[in-house]
């Protein structure tokens, strides 16, 4: 029950007040694959240049991913450089070089077409729509985007959002897209546009899940002592969230309980990913680490329900 | 098992983008009493001028509070005016008139001295210490403060913080007091100064509880559609938190489970308080409303623990 992902694959330069990493594997599809592959097989769609290190393709394959949908095109791979400020919440983009990504059009190997779950990672909404149109059989379609597409390609983004089941947004993006300051109102307005579920990512505050049926769930963030590199944390979040759903789907139709647990798995994978540069932390991660952090989440979010029958009720 | 509170009692002017309220009851001790009185009796310590409306004193009494520790002094009551920005998270102080509060020294009626729980609301740390010294028999001492005292009376604040059991701070105050950007590190540094528990209030993101023993608990905020007036939300939070602990204490020594539930009650009372200007929402609140919101919190924070024994474990 593989997950199909389409998104950027790149080579990053990361600078933080605490360190620097050059020529590291980056891009939304890469970060997603690194996390989701702990749960399910990932079928990757993307493009790289002839300069793309073979070891990065081998890394994807070592994670069990199918890379036959990654086109290798004459030219340079997409490259991005970023510098984080002292608070690690804000960053400056040092450069963006599209390279072969500029003329990218996704091509789906026939073997990908049966993937029941589709993740349209952050790329141009027209490219997201091209994949969506070729994957009409998918049972769960999840979309991520970013502030740039909201302001520059709004009609195209509206169209693709109207066709998906689940939308992921940061809280700033949700406010920007809905044009209201309050998140509850923003969520309702966004859900009127199509998706039945909206996930609002709040970074170091956790994540919220809003349902078109009025349902709500909140998962606080894991209390990390040090954030070493937040790059790709949102994609690793998507990897945990969608990876868990792909697993759960094998046991039957997805339930509200599955989506709650998926939100927690999103937070878990996002938190691990921030603990080191690039994919470094996920390379040493084990299923036992994930299970242990899941138990920690249970412990620091659950409280005794007895009170409602207590002295005050 | 009354809770003794010392703090400001005042008359406020509140302006928001959505409305204005003049001459409303304000002050930390007032907001605290409005919330905590749903759980336990409150013994109030404070000062007002001869201009203080009799109906506000009657309101405290109608909530079952003991007002014999409120001194009525010739002169004007403490007055504060604030104007909220469009995002409702930031505000400008329009004016602060200390009035009779300038020469205030807390006097404890003998009947207050057996209160097992003490809340030192946000006032000058020297006044907090005066009350603390007179209440050596208290079993639980909780302290709140603000950025102004951290920067202007640091040694006095350090001293009183070293003597309390639980410290409440906003996340900005915690970073400022500990002089580090990361909250986990800040919490550890603050707990080294004395208290065994630190509550970090995160406004619309909820609240965190850090224990000196390394324990941690997180309660997300209630998803409010509209925040009409956040004034005193932190004190109403303290009212729910401490009020619940005062109730729980009657069943025996306070446990970790009690503190977790108390954090949820803090969030509940803080959220109700924001729903209308001044004390308006708490005036119509019922114990059934609190119980219903507690059930909502259970529902939107709890998830199925089964996963750890699922297909991946």
DSSP alpha helices (H): ranges in A253-310? Answer: 256-273, 280-284, 287-301
Chain B environment of A257 (Cβ under 8 Å) = 303-304
Give the pLDDT confidence score for residue A312 in this predicted structure.
43
Give the pLDDT confidence score for residue B90 in this predicted structure.
85
User: Using the 8-state DSSP alphabet, how is residue A196 labeled?
Assistant: S
Q: Is the pLDDT of residue B4 over 90?
A: yes
| Cβ–Cβ contact B41 with A under 8 A | no
Which secondary-structure segment (H or E) carries A60?
helix A54-62
> Which residues are CB-neighbours of A39 under 8 A, at least 6 positions away?
A239, A240, A243, A244, A246, A247, A265, B312
B183-204 pLDDT, tens digit each: 999 999 999 999 999 999 999 9
Chain A environment of B38 (Cβ under 8 Å) = 312
Residues 277-296 of B with CB under 8 A from A: 287, 290-291, 294-295
Give the pLDDT confidence score for residue A308 in this predicted structure.
45
> Measured between alpha carbons, how far is B292 from B271 in angstroms, rounded to an integer?
13
Q: Which pTM was predicted? A: 0.95
Question: B312 or A245: which carries more pLDDT confidence?
Answer: A245
Nearest to A218 among B220, B247, B311 (CB): B220
> Measured between alpha carbons, how far is B267 from B233 in angstroms, rounded to an integer?
9
Domain count across chain B: 1
| Cβ–Cβ contact A216 with B under 8 A | yes
Chain B environment of A287 (Cβ under 8 Å) = 312-313
Q: How confident is the model at residue B307 (pLDDT cuts 50, 70, 90)?
A: low
> Measured between alpha carbons, how far is A102 from A85 in angstroms, rounded to an integer?
29
Is residue B309 in a domain?
no
| Cβ–Cβ contact B178 with A under 8 A | no
List the single residue in A with minimal CA-CA distance to B262: A303
> Which residues are CB-neighbours of B201 under 8 A, at least 6 positions away?
B168, B169, B170, B171, B207, B234, B237, B270
| Cβ–Cβ contact B300 with A under 8 A | yes
Is residue B66 in a domain?
yes
B46-65 pLDDT, tens digit each: 999 999 999 999 999 999 99
pLDDT exceeding 70 applies to what percent of chain B? 98
Radius of gyration of chain A (CA): 19
Q: Measuring CA to CA, how many Å separate A102 from each of A12, A27, A48, B227?
A: 17, 14, 11, 44
List the one residue out of B126, B155, B127, B115 whose CA is nearest residue B245: B115
> Measured between alpha carbons, how far is A237 from B222 in angstroms, rounded to an integer?
23
Give the pLDDT confidence score for residue B88 in this predicted structure.
82
> Measured between alpha carbons, how far is A302 from A108 in angstroms, rounded to an integer?
43
Q: How confident is the model at residue B312 (pLDDT cuts 50, 70, 90)?
A: very low
Say whether B260 and A304 touch across the interface (CB within 8 A).
yes
| Cβ–Cβ contact B268 with A under 8 A | no
Is residue B63 in a domain?
yes
A187-217 pLDDT, tens digit each: 999 999 999 999 999 999 999 999 999 999 9
B71-98 pLDDT, tens digit each: 999 999 999 999 999 878 789 999 999 9
Give the pLDDT confidence score for residue A310 in this predicted structure.
46
Domain CATH for B164: 3.40.1190.20
Is residue B283 in a domain?
yes
> Measured between alpha carbons, how far is A303 from A162 in angstroms, rounded to an integer?
38
Chain B environment of A181 (Cβ under 8 Å) = 86-88
Chain B environment of A305 (Cβ under 8 Å) = 295, 298
How far is the alpha carbon of A186 from chain B, nearest alpha carbon, in Å? 9
Is residue B292 in a domain?
yes
Residues 73-132 of B with CB under 8 A from A: 86-88
Is residue B195 in a domain?
yes
Say whether A223 and B184 touch across the interface (CB within 8 A).
yes
How far is the alpha carbon of A71 from chain B, nearest alpha carbon, in Å? 32
In this prediction, the residues of chain A whose per-residue pLDDT falls under 50 are 308-313
Give the pLDDT confidence score for residue A89 in this predicted structure.
78
Q: Which domain holds residue A79?
A: 3-309
Asked whether B77 and B51 are in contact (CB, 8 A), the reply is: yes
List the one residue out of A16, A12, A6, A86 whose CA is nearest residue A46: A6
List the single residue in B with minimal CA-CA distance to A225: B184
Say whether A260 and B287 touch across the interface (CB within 8 A).
no
Nearest to B303 among A227, A260, A308 (CB): A260
Tell me the average pLDDT across B267-287.
96
Give the pLDDT confidence score for residue B200 in this predicted structure.
98
> Which residues are CB-neighbours of B283 under 8 A, at least 6 positions away?
B59
Give the pLDDT confidence score for residue A86 in this predicted structure.
82
> Which residues are CB-neighbours of A37 under 8 A, at least 6 positions away?
A63, A64, A65, A239, A243
Asked whether B211 and B178 are in contact (CB, 8 A), the reply is: no
> Measured between alpha carbons, how far is A256 from A273 in angstroms, rounded to an integer?
26
Partner residues linked to B78 by β-bridges: B10
Nearest to B295 among A301, A308, A310 (CB): A308
ipTM above 0.85, yes or no: yes
> Measured between alpha carbons, how far is A15 from B49 in angstroms, rounded to an integer?
58
Is residue B310 in a domain?
no
Chain A environment of B204 (Cβ under 8 Å) = 183
List the single residue in A with minimal CA-CA distance to B183: A225
Chain A environment of B263 (Cβ under 8 Å) = 303
Say whether B208 and A223 touch across the interface (CB within 8 A).
yes
Is residue B308 in a domain?
no
Q: What is the mean pLDDT of chain A?
A: 94
């Amino acid at each position: 029950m593989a997950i199909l992902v389409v998104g950027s694959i790149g080579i990053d330069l990361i600078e933080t007040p605490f360190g620097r990493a050059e020529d590291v594997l980056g891009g939304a599809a890469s970060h997603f694959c690194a996390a989701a592959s702990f749960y399910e097989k990932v079928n990757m769609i993307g493009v790289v240049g002839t300069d793309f290190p073979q070891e990065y393709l081998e890394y994807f394959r070592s994670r069990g991913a199918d890379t036959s949908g990654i086109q290798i095109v004459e030219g340079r791979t997409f490259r991005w450089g970023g510098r984080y400020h002292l608070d690690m919440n804000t960053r400056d983009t040092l450069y963006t070089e599209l390279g072969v990504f500029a003329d990218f059009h996704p091509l789906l190997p026939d073997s990908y077409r049966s993937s029941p779950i589709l993740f349209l990672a952050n790329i141009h909404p027209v490219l997201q729509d091209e994949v969506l149109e070729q994957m009409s059989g998918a049972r769960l379609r999840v979309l991520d985007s970013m502030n740039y597409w909201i302001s520059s390609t709004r009609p195209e983004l509206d169209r693709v959002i109207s066709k998906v089941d689940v939308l992921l947004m940061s809280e700033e993006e949700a406010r920007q897209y809905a044009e209201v300051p309050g998140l509850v109102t923003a969520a309702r307005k966004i859900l009127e546009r199509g998706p039945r579920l909206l996930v609002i990512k709040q970074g170091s505050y956790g994540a919220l899940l809003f349902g078109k049926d009025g349902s709500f769930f909140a998962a606080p963030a894991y209390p990390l002592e040090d954030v070493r590199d937040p790059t790709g944390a949102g994609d690793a979040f998507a990897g945990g969230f969608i990876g868990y759903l792909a697993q759960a789907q094998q046991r039957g139709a997805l339930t509200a309980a599955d989506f709650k647990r998926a939100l927690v798995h999103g937070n878990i994978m996002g938190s691990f990913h921030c603990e080191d540069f690039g994919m470094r932390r996920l390379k040493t991660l084990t299923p036992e680490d994930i299970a242990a952090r899941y138990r920690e989440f249970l412990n620091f979010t659950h409280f005794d329900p007895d009170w409602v029958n207590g002295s005050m009720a």
